[in-house]
Amino acid sequence: MNPAARRPSAHRLARLLRQPSARRFGLLLLLLAGFGVALLLVPRPDPAELPQLADALGGYAPVTAVVGGALLMVVLVPRTFVTLATGAIFGPLAGGAYSVGAAALAAALGFAIGRLLGRDFVAERVRGRLARLDGWFTRQSLFGVITVRLLPIAGYGLVSYGYGTTGARPLPYLAGSVIAAAPTAIGYAAIGAAATSPGPVNWYAAAPAGLGLIASVIIIHRWWQAERQRRLGAS
């Protein structure tokens, strides 16, 4: 590359890094990159050893499950893995409940970090279609959040950070995140419990996963109809 062409780019980068919002956004990207590298390097525990953790923690086990599960999701550990682990430790019902609590806390933490480190940078620079997309997140209802959470767009923690960088309202976001996490929590927890305590298939425990799929289809259909009516009204 021509050295003369490099200098303007270097000056633009230097000016950008002098802006507080750009430095915060850079920190957010570094955090996410660090979490991604850690996921590749840190070994995962043996599922057979998980039930012993509950006995070792004693009365602190439920709080540890919720807080620890939330922190794992914040560092981008998949929610499915966390739910399977809580099911293996506490069983399908308690494990599912703790998983929902962890998902709620992780959603709040990820949103807060994304809002603190990334929102100003994004708001200052969105234009055109990105601005319209940001406006859609700002106006988003409870059903819109549930729809995004149920779609296989990205991991649970990454979506939480992404929401924080948008203009999304905290209350619909948090409520939608919890509702979207609940249907599959008991189902995945039941699978985790079965992995450490094999037995007959509990179809009642697996039912929430099927209900979650049905709910996803209904919600997406309702959202699509609402968007179509809005566009017809605007034209």
CA distance 36 to 26: 15
Give me the helix-helix angle, 92-125 and 79-90, nearest 10°: 160
Query: Please, what is the Cα angle at 228 between 227 and 229, to 5 degrees?
Result: 90
Per-residue model confidence (pLDDT) at position 208: 54
Predicted pLDDT at 114: 93
User: What is the rounded distance in angstroms from the CA atom of residue 25 to the CA atom of residue 227?
Assistant: 31
pLDDT tens-digit profile of 32-54?
999 888 888 887 766 666 667 77
Residue 12: CB atoms within 10 Å: 10
Tell which residue, 235, 233, 189, has the closest CA to residue 208: 189
Ranges of the chain with pLDDT below 50? 5, 201, 203-204
pLDDT of residue 201: 47
Rounded Cα–Cα distance for residues 176 and 147 (Å): 9
Note the pLDDT of residue 196. 63
- The pLDDT, as a whole number, for residue 52 is 73
pLDDT digits (tens, 9 = 90+) for 53-74: 777 777 888 899 999 999 999 9
